[in-house]
Structure 1
Amino acid sequence: MNGSEYIAEFLARIGSTRVFTLTGGACAFMVDAVGRHPELTYTCFQHEQSAAMAADAVWRVSRRVGVTIATSGPGATNLITGIACSYFDSIPSIHITGQVNQREASAFHGANVRQSGFQETKIVDMVRPITKYAVMVRSGEELRQELASAYAVAMSGRKGPVLIDVPMDVQKSEVEGDVILQPERSQTSEPTKTVAASIAMTFAKSRRPVVLWGGGVGLAGVEQQVADWLARAGIPFVSSWAGLTCFDHDHPGFLGQIGVYGNRGANFVLQNADAVLVLGSRLDNRQRSGNPRNFATGATVHVIDVDEEELQKFRNDSYRTSHLDFRHLPAVLENVALPEIDAEWRKYVTEMKNRYLGRETSASARRLNSLSPYDVVRRINEVVAADAIIAGDTGAAICWLHQAFKIRRHTLFTAGGNSPMGYALPAAIGAKLAAPHRQVISYNGDGGMQLNIQELQTLKHLHLDVAVVVMNNASYGIVRQFQDSHLGSRYSASQTGYSVPDFGRIAQAYGLRNARVERIDQITPNLFTGGAIVIEVMLSEQTLIEPKLEMGRPINDQFPYLSDAEYASGNRFVDYPRPKSLKGMLT
């Protein structure tokens, strides 16, 4: 085999049989080898960023590693946003870039030469901070070794993306020997008995415990065991956004998602707990708020994570921490001595759940006589298949989705850590290709839709049955709401200077069906079947995210503000004083 053929055979051996690409001169040999391999298929995208986002989605719905091949220079740099999505959300993916012949490279001519070969770019240096492994190979033997190493690293411990840069002379050079495969790298962690004892110590004096379910539980593939343990233990739990897709939301212990855009009841319960067990969550500032000192002030917080470096963030927070390979989490939990839960706590938890879970509404939409985005999301939830895949974008639209969508057997995901506009459409394409027998919905705001709108051509070309929902409020709604709170309602670049096309006519130009929704009863099951369609949902530009935390407040004091009496009822066990002045309206 030559280098390109070796790459194709390696991908077949690891089960990554579909490669996402936009071709170019420096990767043409590799794309050709993929096209000639009997077990591989390549899929062309209109932008390399979309290819990387599609590759990110492959793992989320199939647990197979997504792969891209891109050319040198702009082809390689266009991958970066999608690679960052995988890195921050711990998603394994493989990115293979073409590079100029080594004799043409700047390094061959001198260390200070900026560029020698056409489209030569030092992509390895650029992506090293957002990959687990990035390397340029210089020979056929290096290619064999480094492909195996990169894949093993991507799949080990806290998973993530890798990149292999392959000069054209290596793509054409002879490679001797069979394909090398390496086992996953060993993951060191604390012994399971040690972690179980530490959790037991956290729970020892607790009477008001709560578990925070993070994305790490699902990434380790232990979600069913953890859900079963929580049901048997009777401990209430809340979730991060990344964790929401991992369990049936009818689970008796589930209270809702927490954080800046979290459910009020879930936030109240977490803030009033005396012990918070955090399973695989980064606790970023969208969960704890910008001031982490306001987070669970009356509780012992115990964070368990697969990434030892991640735990270093909490060294100044007086949190308990445990480093654990999450594949061992079920065994740990089975050996934990359970807390004695106070009857008043159980009564309070039930009250918060009944009062707030699934009750999100839009006071702004009622005032404006406009569609409520929460009603729209719930209606979509009702009419799509029970195991539908929903790829979400960003901004206000993704907040409404996570706040109102109730998961049973669905798969709902977004690139939560990087959160780029334009993710949902290519991610939905990747998901549909990886899971062709499941219904797939791409869920977007009008702003995010315009970032990778060119992939409507990919939908059309591949004849994919994907419904593309566009929540059109003719603005960058999440920024607009921030400007209401902090910038005197000056809508610079969120509304002023921003414009929206006619998405229906654009869909027609691509040869796709389209629908315009102005009433809830127009959202029917037929919209989501029968081929690709663009569904434009018309909202007022003044539609808000409700509830939403404003800066400087704890997560249990969200806008629109509750009355003092209802706020005090929610904070029954721990006192969180409110600022004297409340900007905005009370509910």
Structure 2
Amino acid sequence: MKRKKMTKINKTKRSKQFFNLVTYSEKKPNIEREENEKKEKIKHEDIYYFSKSSYRNTYKKYSSDKFFKRRTSKRGELDREERLKIALQKAQKEFTNKDHKVTKKEHTKKKTTFFKNINEINQETLYLQTGAFALFDTLIRSGIHSVFGYPGGAILPIYDELFFWEEKKFIKHYLVRHEQAATHAADGFSRSSGQVGVCFATSGPGATNLVTGIATASLDSIPMIVITGQVGTQFLGTDAFQEIDIYGITLSLVKHSYVVLESRFLSQILAEAIYVAQNGRPGPVLIDIPKNVGLEKIKRFTPCYGTTVHKVLGWRYKVKNQLDNIRMALHRLSVSSKPLLYIGGGVISSKATRELSELIYRYKIPVTTTLTGKGAFDEDNRLCLGMLGMHGTVAANFSISNCDLLIAIGARFDDRVTGKLQDFACKAFIIHIDVDEAEIGKNKNVGIGIVGDIKKILQKFLVLMERPEHKWLEKPLREEFQNWYEQTAEWKHDFPLLAVPGDYSPLPQTIDDVLLPQTVIKTITEIKPYAIITTDVGQHQMWAAQYTKCKRRKWLSSAGLGTMGFGLPAAIGAAIAYPKEDIICITGDSSFQMNLQELGTISKYNLRIKIIIINNHWQGMVRQWQETFYESRYSHSNMSEGAPKFDILAKAYGIRSLYTERQSEIWRTLRDALEGLDPVLLECNVLEDENCYPMVEPSKSNSEMSLSRELSTTPEGLVINKEKERVELSLEEDK
């Protein structure tokens, strides 16, 4: 019986050591050494110090750390007899007792503490661990407790190690049904929480399935760590089973990428990757790990932190002093009469929404935002003109065309925003503020470019404005600013966003009680104004951008790449980041079918996600372009044939489903769908041929917009009938 107890004790002591890490469900304890802790009495031995230089030797004792400690005064190893004597003494101390029986001495547990810096690590804290262990140890130390992925052969060593870490509740893995969904879920997690999203995939097809999600995160500047498995290093370049050069494939899509060839570098590489992904202009970072590297043992494992990367390894994002440019920008603001702020997603990434709001409220400057900039400023405020660009509001597009000073903050002058580039803000002096120097003047020539962290730059703006020499900014109600504000308010009043079918004039009620997509989205915002909203891509995305009023980090949409199938996995990531928040996924019938298998993930983890399908039986935006530019030749854009029964599909995954097709029932049905904690799928059968307006056609300036199938605006701001214009032009040509 005694021997059995001893073996149990020994087994527990041989289990994995996790460096006293904290689980993701608990708060980090303050670990302190006890002052009255009993210390072992160590027999005093003379220790001789030797210089690191091979040309020097000494018998004297020094207190400097620049010398090695040795047991003997001789250079080199001890004699064989002396080494045997020392080994025998150690064995007698550790394995003998009073009864002279050979039993292993039970060692008392030593209290360990968190390592704050790599310099604090002693030889006593170095363990024999694997590359997979180093991976998860670094993730936990970096504050990452949620990962998304799908296992496979080449990444099995990492998943085997994950089993132990999940058992200890250090980390939680969320199994998706497709690797592309893993990247979108990590993307949605990062957009909603502001932290780094992490996803796993195996080599070959698993890695290639990640490419779309990596490109989505890259074009929208989202910090993300993508970890892929790879065949063993001995098989690289031999066309082994499921070998693919994911490093080369994604080279143009990532901010940085690594191939780990030795396990001892894995901790440092991952810490660097997390730092690189977050700092500067955010973006995805790829780490490719061969199978044998995950299994390879590390003889001297040293944990690595973000502080180690920043202080010891020397990673920096240094920016030159921009005070002169800021003073020049303030001078330009002083002589302008029609200033306008053009806000992009960089403001949200740099967490500068508070400084931006203070600047706007103090000096009463109108604001327009991009698709990724939604939520950077209160959209209910009278100074907010809404989104600009191809499907932006009339007030925002008119303001861009008539302002005399445009201050672009965290935006990149995308073609969907600018329209005809030569006519974009053609009357304005442009000031561009961005963290990425490559974006300054890339698409549009600017007068003043200010490079740096947007939050710090706006803080400097506010500090300089408080100085006596800038007292002119204390008069925001001067005539020029007041006249400009009244003009923008007039445009908002004359061209409101209205949920009406096919025309830009209000109607008392929709014909035959047909449900309009704009009404659905507008009602969602009224019922749940503080919900996190994710969208797919198409008409419903533009209607959601127009009619929803989102708060900061509560708008998740694929803007740069326009990825169909993004909305549902992104909602999963947001639900993991905020399990107690309302998550609403607004999607179309075509986009939903791109990643509908993720209903299984939602069902497995019982996530609080409400899915609203705007079903018009078409690829809506494709149909609208075919109608407008291709003389209504609808080539393969109808989705009615072969469409699934969404209610039966939801029930197959164990998710409650609802259906509506009447305008009069929408409020009651939506309220029923959005209540409760369980996932719900609501199918809204809407008017099929409804188009998304306003719309700026390609090769036209922002002020030339189509307001409906019949009405459009001129560069001077006049509303005209397109059909009459066409008739008049044809008559003139006949003459």
TM over 0.5, shorter chain? yes
Residue of structure 1 equivalent to 2:78: none
Match of 2:518 among 358, 374, 377: 374
After alignment, is 325-334 or 22-31 more displaced?
325-334
Distance 1:581 1:35, change over 3 A: farther
**SS where residue 386 of structure 2 aligns?**
strand
Q: Contact (CA 8 Å) 1:467, 1:532: kept in 2 or not?
A: yes
Aligned residue-pair number: 568
RCO comparison, higher one (Cα < 8 Å, 6+): 1
**TM-score, normalization by structure 1:** 0.91
Q: Which range is displaced more, 189-198 or 8-17?
A: 189-198
- Tell me, in whole angstroms, the C-alpha distance in 2 between the residues paired with 1:372 and 1:314: 37
Deviation at 1:332, TM superposition (A): 3.0
| 1:236 matched residue in structure 2 | 366
Partner of 2:229: 98
Secondary structure, aligned partner of 2:550: coil
Name 1:525's counterpart in structure 2.
671
Change (3 A) 1:296 1:367: farther
Partner Cα distance (1:409, 1:3) in 2: 38
Indicate the SS of the match to 2:417.
coil
Change over 3 Å in CA distance of 1:471–1:555 after alignment to 2: same
Which segment drifts farther, 26-35 or 419-428?
26-35
Question: Cα offset for 1:84?
Answer: 1.1
How far apart are residue 342 of structure 1 and its match?
Answer: 3.9
Q: Is the 8 A contact 1:379 1:523 kept in 2?
A: no
What RMSD over aligned residues (CA atoms) do the two structures have, in Å? 2.5
1:171, CA displacement in angstroms? 0.3
- Structure-2 separation of matches of 1:220 and 1:571: 39
In structure 2, the gaps of 5 or more residues are 1-128, 504-508, 728-735
Structure 1 match to 2:345: 215
1:199-235 Cα deviation digits (max 9, x unpaired): 1243243111111111111110010121121001111
CA deviations on 1:533-582 (whole Å, 9 max, x unpaired) are 1111111221110111112221122112699997577479xxx9x99946
CA distance in 2, matches of 1:582, 1:295: 26
Asked whether the equivalents of residues 192 and 332 of structure 1 are also in contact (C-alpha less than 8 Å), the reply is no
Q: How does 1:47-446 map to 2 (within 5 A)?
A: 47-106=178-237, 115=239, 117-175=240-298, 176-182=300-306, 183=309, 185-289=315-419, 291-314=420-443, 317=445, 319-334=447-462, 335=464, 337=470, 338=473, 341-359=480-498, 361-363=500-502, 366=510, 370-384=514-528, 386-408=529-551, 411-446=554-589
- Whichever residue aligns with residue 3 of structure 1, its letter is G
Question: Which residue pairs with 1:23 in the alignment?
Answer: 151
| 1:546-561 → structure 2 map (5 Å cutoff) | 546-560=693-707
Distance 2:337 2:153 in 1: 65
**Contact 2:704/2:713, CA 8 A, preserved across alignment:** no
Q: Is the contact between residue 268 and residue 571 of structure 1 (CA under 8 Å) also seen in structure 2?
A: no
Distance 2:364 2:159 in 1: 53
Q: CA deviation at 1:135?
A: 1.3
Offset from partner CA, 1:266-309 (integer Å, 9 cap, x none) = 111121111111111111011001x2112111111222111111
Cα pair distance change 1:342/1:104, threshold 3 Å: closer
How many Å separate the matches in 2 of 1:502 and 1:22? Answer: 28
Q: Structure 1's 280 and 579: CA in aligned 2 closer, same or farther, altered over 3 A?
A: farther
1:545 aligned residue = 692
Query: How far is 1:511 from its partner?
Result: 1.6
**Displacement after TM superposition at 1:65 (Å):** 1.1
Q: 2-side partners of 1:256 and 1:329: how far apart?
A: 24
- Residue by residue over 1:47-82, the C-alpha shift from the partner in whole angstroms, topping out at 9 and shown as x without a partner, is 000000000111111122111111100111111111
Shift of 1:32: 2.2
**What CA deviation, in whole Å up to 9, does each residue of 1:310-343 have, x standing for no partner?**
124146x355322222131322321255486343
Assess if the C-alpha contact under 8 Å between 1:29 and 1:172 holds in 2. Answer: yes
Give how far 1:409 is off: 6.7
- The Cα shift of 1:434 comes to 0.9
Partner of 1:42, secondary structure, is strand
CA–CA separation in structure 1 for the residues paired with 2:185 and 2:625:
30
Residue correspondence of structure 1 range 442-453 to structure 2 within 5 A = 442-453=585-596
Counterpart CA distance in 1 for 2:229 and 2:405 is: 51
With over 3 angstroms needed to count, the CA separation of the structure-2 counterparts of 1:217 and 1:301, relative to structure 1, is same
Question: 1:390 touches 1:412 (CA, 8 Å); kept in 2?
Answer: yes
Shift of residue 362 of structure 1?
A: 3.8
> Could you tell me which amino acid in structure 2 is paired with residue 137 of structure 1?
V
Consecutive unaligned residues of structure 1, counting only runs of 5 or more, are 107-112
CA contact (8 A) 1:35 1:41 kept: no
Cα 1:524/1:461, change in 2 over 3 Å: same
- Tell whether the 8 Å contact from 1:213 to 1:239 is kept in structure 2 after alignment: yes
| AA matched with 1:44 | L
Q: Which residue of 1 aligns with 2:4?
A: none
Distance between the aligned counterparts of 2:605 and 2:424, measured in 1? 47
Indicate how the Cα distance of structure 1 residues 276 and 312 shifts in structure 2: closer, same or farther if over 3 A, else same: closer
Residues of 2 paired with 1:564 and 1:100: CA distance?
A: 60
Identity %: 31
Displacement of 1:369 in angstroms is 6.0
1:352–1:570 Cα contact (<8 Å) kept: no
Report if aligned partners of 1:362, 1:373 keep a CA contact under 8 Å in 2. no
Aligned pairs for 1:497-512 (under 5 A) are 499-512=642-655
1:183-202 Cα distance to aligned partner (Å, 9 max, x none): 45422334242231131243
CA contact (8 A) 2:565 2:591 kept: yes
Give the number of the structure whose alpha-carbon radius of gyration is greater.
Answer: 2
CA distance in 2, matches of 1:22, 1:343: 57
Instruction: Tell me which amino acid in the other structure corresponds to 2:584.
Output: I
Worse-matched range after superposition: 26-35 or 86-95: 26-35
TM-score, length of structure 2 as denominator length: 0.73
Classify 1:284/1:565 alpha carbon distance in 2 versus 1 (closer, same or farther; 3 Å).
Answer: closer
Q: For residues 138 and 146 of structure 2, what CA distance do their matches in structure 1 show?
A: 12
String of CA shifts for 1:514-551, please: whole Å, max 9, x gaps: 11121223433221133111111111221110111112
Report the Cα distance in structure 1 between the residues aligned to 2:243 and 2:574, rounded to whole angstroms: 32
How far the C-alpha of 1:499 sits from its partner, in A, is: 4.5
- The SS at the match of 2:226 is strand
